[in-house]
Structure 1
Amino acid sequence: MMRKFFSIVCKSLAGMFVYLITLFAFLAEQQSDGKLAMLAVIAACGIVAMLAGLALSGFAQWRRDTGIVLLAATGFTAFLVLCMACVFSSDEVMKFMPPGSVDMFDSYLTGVAVLLGFAVLGGWLLRQARSRSANPA
């Protein structure tokens, strides 16, 4: 029972790291070395957390669990980005923001590419898990 609990905690932590990666992918690329280093550290932490969660569950259903983590994190990030875009598009809100405060999130192409990449990978893993459970070898 405790193994399952800690497995879920580790997988949730991995989801938080995936969320951070997808969110930080939208950051401006003025200092790309710092951004890449930060993303690499966050990715390493996320991989370690996911592997710990999978190890605690005996790597049973690893495709399904990893796909769920990736899709949940990318879905949450997409929702957050959409909400922030709606908020920042309002002239009323922008009156209260300091000038240039939105400029730090201007790497839309990279952000959307990373978001879609993780979502496609998560969906593919879920599909693989479903096809394996339907056709056990």
Structure 2
Amino acid sequence: MPTSTSCTRINRGDIAAWAGDWITFYGDWRRNGDQVPGDESTRAALYDGPQPRLALFFADRFRAPELATAIARSALTDAGDLLIDAGRTGLITDIADGPVLAPAFLRGDALERLTQGFTERLLELVAEERELIAALPAYV
């Protein structure tokens, strides 16, 4: 049975996929003075149409909202794999147009609010996706 820690760890494949988008979002957020990024490329990275992939992705990768928040935190802060650490630092520095405060050093509950926002937005998109799919005409 996986431990609590192993359930929230990210791997190199995550960095090349969803966690890379998430880390890029963090860099954009820091560059914009903690304002939520609003450009279309960021939104497109999180959602690109009425496909059932988001619900399946959430169920397969996160399983539950609490776990999604913990994994999002892990993607921004976990240390130990030098390749992941270097990739995260490179993505954040590149997107933020220079060095910024590392996610693990955010003040107060900023990291918790950010990762909770990640989970809430992902769940909103899953719900939107379900509504869109439900509204599609049935194919005979």
Which TM class, normalised by the smaller chain length?
0.3 to 0.5
- Decide which structure has the larger Cα Rg and report it: 1
Query: TM-score scaled by structure 2?
Result: 0.38
Query: TM-score scaled by structure 1?
Result: 0.39
- Looking at secondary structure, tell me which structure has more helix per residue: 1
